[in-house]
Structure 1
Amino acid sequence: MTDVMVGLFQTVDTGPDGETGQPSGPLNAEPGVAVMRRILICMPLLLAGAAVHAAPPTPSPCTDAPRAQWLSDEQLLSEVKRMGYKLKRYEQERQCVEVEGWDRNGQRVALRVDPATARIVQTTFK
């Protein structure tokens, strides 16, 4: 009796006269076991794909303008205040200025501001 490979994880037993019997192998041991093994083989691939799609996007830069064209901190912050925001703190992060404070309604906000134009690129309510 010899085993003939017919697929991944699957062999077919052949009798002495060359007739084939039922497939045997780890995936055909029992129907429940075969399904579970296929799930265990596929699950890491599915989880890896889901993790790639679930990752938060990297924030894009607010401006491509060179630093020489950026507004001064005082000019930028006075523009943001003129728009009705009260400021708590700010910092430069890559090509953006991130500002935390409150809007006209008193709700806490985080702003991403273009340092060259003082245009608000993103508003996140906290």
Structure 2
Amino acid sequence: MNAKTLLSALAIATGLVAGGVLVAPAIAQNAPLTAEANSKWLSIPQIHDKLEAAGYGNIDEIERERDGYEVKATDREGQRVELEVDPLTGGVTKTVVKRERKSDRADRDARRDAAPASSN
């Protein structure tokens, strides 16, 4: 093998190794969780209890996602929200206010109509 071929092969090998070092962290971020990391997640009942303690109600859906939990609930102001919840702490990392459902609006209106009128 002549020196030119050897240097070319060495340069290609070095480039591949360097590229692997740069790409590996990006791939690791998208890799599925290991069993150990997964075992540290709070359970769905624990997530439910933490959200209730934080003032959320009508928690009707808790979905386990790849990077945490997605929850549909009602906040303290009575607005329907979709929450992203940290799987290790149970803390809310993102809140998106949703439009009020027709059934929720009908329930609210029925409660308002059934409330006794205040006398002055």
**What TM-score do the two structures reach when normalised by structure 2?**
0.50
* TM-score with structure 1 setting the length: 0.47
Q: Which has the higher helix share?
A: 2
